[in-house]
Structure 1
Amino acid sequence: MPTTVLILNGPNLNLLGRREPTVYGRETLDDIAMACRAHGDRLRLRVDFRQSNHEGELVDWIQQTHADVRGIILNAAAYTHTSIAIPDALRAVGLPTIEVHLSNIHARESYRHHSFIAPVARGSIIGLGSQGYLLALDALARMIADEQSGVGPIVSPVPT
């Protein structure tokens, strides 16, 4: 059974390509999904790429991870700054998670500077556009390989 990585995207990311292209770029979410799947293939990872505008659906998807899902890449979008339920779900499943943001949230409005996701993520990739997703895939592939070889996690698991 192939190793699966779940890539979750939050609200309004379905509008990429036409929503504030000076901030988020001109690529669509479908473009990013195709690039992630192709890169996942090169890394021998199956990429399950999803988007929802609904916080509860994102929580459900996190909770429904199964044995072949070995990591999560999450662009929670606006829920990064408002959701307690999403990081609680990430803690509950205990999978290595990498937070991704297309824009540099620290160079934007002050309410975007705080992330509820960051404390439960192994790392955050911020401000590198769609390239951040591919870098996150590289990092997860390394974490998974290290854990499979007995080296253990690159970084200590997040305390609960």
Structure 2
Amino acid sequence: MKIQIINGPNLNLLGVREKSIYGNTSFESYLEELRKRYANITINYYQSNVEGEIINKLHEIGFEYDGIVINAGAYTHTSIAIADAIAAINTPVIEVHISNVHKREEFRHTSMLAASCRGVIAGFGMDSYRLAVEYLIAG
């Protein structure tokens, strides 16, 4: 089984930025734990601050992977293009958020991606990624 995690803008700063919202752990540290926990699964990781690069990655893997976990960051609330890319591929996509976006600013309450995704997981910190992986494993 192959799962791709895609993180969008500013998520390369996890562990450094807004620790009260996103915590102290870098994504790379968390990814290492996730890969150890699911050693029998290939978990690839991609991060970009550029909308088009995220779309290209979805197109590249969207017909050959078993699942995609995406945290599109702020693009979640603005990108019809990423939503269209998700709708165009066969691989199931789970949208995740580290914070509970519904407890934050009003503009974060709307996801342009959710309707194109299999489901949405939000508010469980980094564990949101694990929950998405568990869903994909269960099929």
Interval of TM-score (by shorter of Structure 1 and Structure 2) = over 0.9
Structure 1 position 87, deviation (Å): 1.1
TM-score (ref. length: structure 1)? 0.83
Residues of 2 paired with 1:111 and 1:50: CA distance?
Answer: 25
Q: CA distance change for structure 1 residues 11 and 66 in 2, over 3 Å: closer, same or farther?
A: closer
Aligned partner of residue 129 in structure 1, secondary structure: coil
**Unmatched 5+ stretches in structure 2:** none
Partner of 1:13: 11
Q: CA RMSD in A?
A: 1.2
Partner of 1:57: 53
Structure 1 position 68, deviation (Å): 4.1
Residues of 2 paired with 1:87 and 1:19: CA distance?
Answer: 26
Letter in 1 for 2:126: S
Cα-to-partner distance string for 1:7-46 (whole Å, 9 max, x where unaligned): 00000001111100001111101112212222332xx320
2:129 pairs with 1:133: yes
Partner of 1:117: 113
Is residue 5–residue 46 contact of structure 2 (8 Å, CA) maintained in 1?
Answer: yes
Identical-pair percentage: 43
Q: CA distance change for structure 1 residues 117 and 39 in 2, over 3 Å: closer, same or farther?
A: farther
TM-score (ref. length: structure 2)? 0.95
Residues of 1 paired with 2:105 and 2:127: CA distance?
Answer: 23
Aligned partner of residue 85 in structure 1, secondary structure: helix
Task: Identify which of 91, 94, 97 aligns with 2:87.
Answer: 91
Aligned partner of residue 64 in structure 1, secondary structure: helix
Larger Rg: 1
Is residue 40–residue 137 contact of structure 1 (8 Å, CA) maintained in 2?
Answer: no
Residues of 2 paired with 1:89 and 1:137: CA distance?
Answer: 21
Residues of 1 paired with 2:116 and 2:30: CA distance?
Answer: 24
**Unmatched 5+ stretches in structure 1:** 144-160
